[in-house]
Amino acid sequence: MPKVSMINERKIDGLDASGNRAQWQLHALKKNDFVNIELIDEFNKDKVSKLSDNLIHAQQLSGRLLENHRYIADAHGLEYVYSSNLSGGYSFHNWKKWSFKTKSYYYKKLETKILQKSQHIICAGESIFERVKNIQSATVVRNSVFPENYIPTQCKKLKIALVGPFLPGKLNYFGFDMIKFIVKKLPDIEFVFIGPTDKNFREELQFKNTKFTGKVENYVETLRTCSVLLAPFPNYAVYLGSKTKFIEAAACQMPIVTTPLGNIDFENDHVCIGKTKNDLINQIDYLKNENVRNDLGKKLRNEVIKNHNADIEIKKIIKIYKELM
């Protein structure tokens, strides 16, 4: 059987969503006895010669480096949609608005070219599939985890996790105003910020009820020390595809509080949605009841087992590989 080369432009280090998607796919393939596969991270044009006649699985935008190869394009999100939405967060006269519009125009051309050239498109969620299904044949393979690797949280009190990185330009950073409002309004609740954090972000949120872990060795174990995940996003900060941290928190049986666009491709009746800052506070108040947290947590974990299970989703990729081989 021909070899499969999975390529990723960024380094696989557990901090990047692109790397996380490639990692669980690789592990699931090998777990299902699909061993004739290699992962090439930090992929660039100098590494193209290593590909030979292999079937290529190109993560996110890495297909742009393959001028003379066909490949499977794995779309984690659509950068042109992300940039277009971000432009909506700035006034007409703000240069950032036009910078994001320019980026959106650039990415629209680039992503269309990458997807048109592909043999097949793998989509991280239904929202992506709906936008690319007329470009090339496509399949939804949801962001996933191995549920058995996630032990339900044992935290009995209301302790809230926020997962970064909280760095300028990153999606989580845009929720700063909502986060600060909530933290100040709920001084008796502890908020734990997990992941790399910008100095200004951290200094603005230095309160008695906040803790910053920085980069951690065992992210899941740190996440499990909390009982709820909070992830607010303003309406203009929209990235397609389900968020890995939602799936991981749900797998740890933790309720999730977010804004309406936060749970794209993770839509179910068990996520606590707040449209405004005060709505989010009301949702957190609702979760002060431990029985409510336990009930929602169990339902969310079942959602992961059913719809975001790596052992199930990987079978779709194996089917695509076999058809193209």
Judged by DSSP in three states, 130 sits in helix
**Residue 267: which pLDDT band, with cuts at 50, 70 and 90?**
confident
pLDDT for res 2:
67
pLDDT for res 246:
93
Domain match, 100 and 215 both: no
Separation CA 80–CA 281 (nearest Å) = 32
Domain match, 127 and 16 both: yes
The answer to whether the predicted template modeling score (pTM) of the entire model surpasses 0.85 is yes
Question: In angstroms, what is the C-alpha Rg of the chain?
Answer: 20
Domain match, 178 and 269 both: yes
Domain match, 106 and 152 both: no
What are the tokens at 220?
């899941």
Domain match, 114 and 210 both: no
Separation CA 193–CA 212 (nearest Å) = 5
Domain match, 69 and 176 both: no
Amino acid identity of 75? A
Residue indicated by tokens 């957190």 = 284
Average pLDDT, the chain: 91
pLDDT, one tens digit per residue, over 121-154 is 999 999 999 999 999 999 999 999 999 999 999 9
pLDDT above 60 (res 6): yes
Long-range contacts of 178-183 (CB under 8 A, 24+ apart): 178/232, 178/234, 178/259, 178/277, 178/280, 179/205, 179/230, 179/232, 180/204, 180/205, 181/277, 182/230, 182/232, 182/277, 182/280, 182/281, 182/284, 183/207, 183/209, 183/210
pLDDT above 70 (res 261): yes
Number of domains in the chain: 2
Separation CA 266–CA 280 (nearest Å) = 18
Find, among 58, 61, 24, the residue nearest to 314 by Cα: 24
Q: Please state, as a whole number, how many other Cβ atoms lie within 10 Å of the Cβ of residue 62.
A: 25
Domain match, 158 and 297 both: yes
Domain match, 265 and 313 both: no
Separation CA 269–CA 266 (nearest Å) = 10
* Domain extent at residue 29: 4-144+309-324
pLDDT above 60 (res 16): no
pLDDT for res 1:
57
pLDDT, one tens digit per residue, over 90-103 is 899 989 899 989 99
